[in-house]
Chain A
Amino acid sequence: MSRFPLTGALQRDSRALDTLPRIASQSLIGWRAEDGVLTPLQSGIAATVRQRTESATIHASDGVSGPLAATSPAFTSVDWDGDGLREAEALLLSTEEAVRWHAPTGAGLVLPVASMTLRHDWIESGALAADLPLWSLSDDAAAGGVLTLAGNGGDVAFTLETGSASVSAMCILAEPIALGDRVSARASLIRDGSDLRVQLALVHVPAGELAPVSRGDVAWRGAPETIGALSSSVAAMSAWGDGNGVRCRLNERADVRGQQLVVASFLYPGARPRREFAL
């Protein structure tokens, strides 16, 4: 008979070491703010953070706000399902901050140039209107093969650069995304033989409105999704980045950083519909 303390040694020990219980994840790199750490769910992936220099203002679960020292990542309580209660967690990232996921040694990620799907959930905090990045798969200089989810004149664009060409997919919504709105992007990179295409689909819930599926389902499974047009094709490159120092980046592309409240970010293998999103 195993006897573990009822106080949750399995989870809390892991938490204090900034690692997570290794939940069987279907994703290549998967991260949720609710876990309270910057490392993703996958073992063997480390996180590096570019810190802010000033304290942040974050919110308690009951709405009380207060300062947080600059050396702590600014996890904060947010209302994700729109019922007025701050029941969910998000990571507040300013234009100074970025999170990078890479090998524990600091080496870059080696990922095949194959179909993949990004699920990125965030609360809009000004990145879109300023054309700032939300997520990217790139090396430090954003050379060679780069995938970027970023603002584009107030809309969202998912862009693939191969080093010699680029294609971009957008998803124009009937109602523009405003500050405080909740957005869940499903951005697909689709490989067709030696060609690549990109496509972007969004679930958009304006601030103050109830999310279509609340019952604690952060992924808004089954929510109406607006699907943008498939991009034109571009010849596939041989590797991501310049083959060195490739990282999966939150809030950063090259030396440009965005500003957002990130709730979750998952990169899955293959082109997936929303109903197949898992941890």
Chain B
Amino acid sequence: MIVGPLSWLFAESGDGFSPPDPTPTPAPVSTLARVETMCWVNDVPVESLGLILDQPSGWLEDRARGFLDGVKAPGRTGGYLGAPAGGEARVLVLQGHVLNVALLSQTDVTARLTEQLHGLLELRWAHAPERVLRGEVLRVDVSPANPRRAFVRPSDTTLAVRIEISCRDSAFYRRAPRRMALSSSARAIPVGSLAVGGEVWINGPISAPLDLELYGAHGAPLAVLALRDAPSDPVDVDVGESLRIRIDSPRAVLRYHADGSIASHPAWWNATFSTPALLASLSVGASSVAPITARLSSGTGWWILPEAWAH
């Protein structure tokens, strides 16, 4: 170890240090005409922030799928089908480098990264850009790639960047949900590898008991969502009005859209249909056959389904 006033000039043995050339070195010319986008953060390619990703982790890990402890599953354990179990948060780490940074520009680089990488982010990857993963930034670490040479060439340093993101909802969703027309004719409903219900919109007028029937691809019934005002009363929706059913575990949320209201109608209520079974039918893992088939007992409507995948 060399200690003294000029010790910063001298590296430890074996570090290959050489004093800088007294003649100015021309700025390095990048030979990269194009950097392929590997990851978008809020629709911005991370490469446009100068960040070259070289070690992402956690982005392709599978998610555990299962049922809550003690819940029985027909066909597996017998008994009734319960709500799917919760999933652990996905912790995603993006590691990479920002090249050719002048020491005096480090503040700008850091500011640009932290401006873009804060709060809840929407991430997409090059292998499936139509799938979206959402997560919150935990921390953005910026440090010299070679700490022992951080100040050796202050006009041309390399920064190592490490971004830690927590995705509490670890599922990937289709960026624009699939929209399927519903009627009394059977329609194939595509599903992803994770269960997600989506929303069913039913057009008025309706003045009869209404069933949303699900079938396997083989045509055998899987589940029925029976809509009634009371146990045996018909659903009553006028012309021009609509009924929305949000199907999520462990319940369905119904919303009645009367004429003249879009965003603030107070008529909300929860209903406890056999939705766990219905919901569980909506993923490749839970139903024996995919895709499933759906139809309404009468009327027309739409199923807006944001397919979900584990990766």
Is B180 within 8 A of A60, CB to CB? yes
Q: Which residue of B lies closest to A71 (CB)?
A: B257
Is A67 within 8 A of B300, CB to CB? yes
Is A7 within 8 A of B116, CB to CB? no
Is A279 within 8 A of B42, CB to CB? yes
A272 within 8 A of B: no
Q: Give the distance in Å from the alpha carbon of A3 to the alpha carbon of B66 in the complex.
A: 13
Is A76 within 8 A of B86, CB to CB? no
Kindly specify which of B20-28, B120-128, B155-163, B223-231 makes contact with the partner chain: B120-128
Q: Give the distance in Å from the alpha carbon of A5 to the alpha carbon of B115 in the complex.
A: 30
A174 within 8 A of B: no
Expressed in whole angstroms, the minimum distance between the Cβ of A164 and any Cβ of chain B is: 37
- Among A53, A65, A70, the one with the most B-chain Cβ atoms within 10 Å of its Cβ is A70
Is A68 within 8 A of B203, CB to CB? yes
Q: Give the distance in Å from the alpha carbon of A36 to the alpha carbon of B120 in the complex.
A: 18
Provided the pairs A5-B249, A66-B302, A67-B300 are in contact, do residues A11 and B119 lie with their beta carbons within 8 angstroms? no
B99 within 8 A of A: no
B248 within 8 A of A: yes
Q: Which residue of B lies closest to A215 (CB)?
A: B129
Expressed in whole angstroms, the minimum distance between the Cβ of B9 and any Cβ of chain A is: 41
Q: How many A-B residue pairs have CB under 8 A?
A: 194
Residues of A within 8 A of B88 (CB): 1-3
Kindly specify which of B74-82, B138-146, B193-201, B212-220 makes contact with the partner chain: B193-201
Residues of A within 8 A of B18 (CB): none
- Among A4, A12, A87, the one with the most B-chain Cβ atoms within 10 Å of its Cβ is A12
Is A71 within 8 A of B241, CB to CB? yes
Residues of B within 8 A of A55 (CB): 203, 240
Q: Give the distance in Å from the alpha carbon of A77 to the alpha carbon of B179 in the complex.
A: 7
Q: Give the distance in Å from the alpha carbon of A10 to the alpha carbon of B259 in the complex.
A: 29
Is B63 within 8 A of A24, CB to CB? no
Is B84 within 8 A of A278, CB to CB? no
Is B175 within 8 A of A34, CB to CB? yes
Residues of A within 8 A of B271 (CB): none
Provided the pairs A5-B249, A6-B63 are in contact, do residues A12 and B175 lie with their beta carbons within 8 angstroms? no
Expressed in whole angstroms, the minimum distance between the Cβ of B180 and any Cβ of chain A is: 5
Provided the pairs A7-B194, A23-B42, A60-B179 are in contact, do residues A71 and B260 lie with their beta carbons within 8 angstroms? yes
Provided the pairs A7-B84, A216-B130 are in contact, do residues A22 and B43 lie with their beta carbons within 8 angstroms? no
Q: Give the distance in Å from the alpha carbon of A7 to the alpha carbon of B171 in the complex.
A: 8
Residues of A within 8 A of B87 (CB): 3-6
- Among A8, A15, A39, A89, the one with the most B-chain Cβ atoms within 10 Å of its Cβ is A8
Interface size on A, residues (CB 8 A): 65
Residues of B within 8 A of A16 (CB): 199, 246, 253, 255
Q: Give the distance in Å from the alpha carbon of A215 to the alpha carbon of B306 in the complex.
A: 19
A88 within 8 A of B: yes
Provided the pairs A219-B43, A278-B42 are in contact, do residues A77 and B201 lie with their beta carbons within 8 angstroms? no
Residues of B within 8 A of A58 (CB): 179, 302
Residues of B within 8 A of A21 (CB): 120, 134
Is B42 within 8 A of A24, CB to CB? yes
Q: Give the distance in Å from the alpha carbon of A76 to the alpha carbon of B183 in the complex.
A: 17
B147 within 8 A of A: no
Is A6 within 8 A of B195, CB to CB? yes
B interface list, Cβ under 8 A from A: 37, 40, 42-45, 48, 63, 65, 83-89, 115-116, 118-122, 124, 126, 129-130, 134, 168-171, 173, 175-181, 183, 194-197, 199, 201, 203-204, 240-242, 244, 246, 248-249, 253, 255, 257-263, 279, 300, 302, 304, 306, 308
A selection of 12 A-B contacts at a CB cut-off of 8 Å is A7-B194, A16-B253, A26-B115, A38-B262, A60-B178, A60-B181, A69-B203, A69-B257, A76-B179, A87-B176, A216-B130, A217-B40
Apart from A10-B168, A69-B203: 10 A-B pairs, beta carbons within 8 A: A4-B87, A5-B87, A7-B171, A12-B197, A55-B203, A66-B181, A67-B203, A72-B257, A87-B176, A89-B179
